[in-house]
Amino acid sequence: MSSSPPPSSAAASPSCPKKMIALRSSDGETFEIEEAAALQSKTLENMIDEDCAGTPIPLPNVTGKILAKVVEFCSKHAEPGVDDESLRAWDAEFVNVEQATVFDYILAANFLEIPTLLNLTCNVVADMIRGKTPDEIRKFFNIKSIFSPEEEEEVRRENHWAFE
Q: Taking the complex as a whole, how short is the minimal distance between the CB of residue 42 and other proteins, in angstroms? A: 15
Q: Taking the complex as a whole, how short is the minimal distance between the CB of residue 89 and other proteins, in angstroms? A: 14
Residue placing its CB nearer to other proteins in the complex, 68 or 137: 137
Q: How far apart are CA 76 and CA 47, in angstroms?
A: 21
Q: Taking the complex as a whole, how short is the minimal distance between the CB of residue 108 and other proteins, in angstroms? A: 11
Residue placing its CB nearer to other proteins in the complex, 17 or 161: 161
Q: Going by C-beta distance under 8 Å and a sequence separation of 6 or more, which residues neighbour residue 31?
A: 22, 23, 24, 25, 64, 67, 68, 71
Residue placing its CB nearer to other proteins in the complex, 33 or 62: 62
Q: Taking the complex as a whole, how short is the minimal distance between the CB of residue 13 and other proteins, in angstroms? A: 31
Residue placing its CB nearer to other proteins in the complex, 20 or 155: 155
List beta partners, residue 34: 20
Q: Taking the complex as a whole, how short is the minimal distance between the CB of residue 161 and other proteins, in angstroms? A: 5
Q: b/e per residue, 63-78, with b = 16+ CB within 10 A?
A: bbebbebbbebbeebb
Q: Going by C-beta distance under 8 Å and a sequence separation of 6 or more, which residues neighbour residue 107?
A: 61, 62
Other Cβ atoms closer than 10 A to 123: 12
Interface with other proteins (CB under 8 A)? 26-28, 60-61, 63-64, 99-100, 102-103, 106-107, 110, 118, 122-123, 125-126, 129-134, 137-138, 141-147, 151-152, 155-156, 158-164
Q: How far is CA 74 from CA 32, 47, 53, 105, 110, in A?
A: 12, 16, 18, 12, 14
Residue placing its CB nearer to other proteins in the complex, 46 or 123: 123
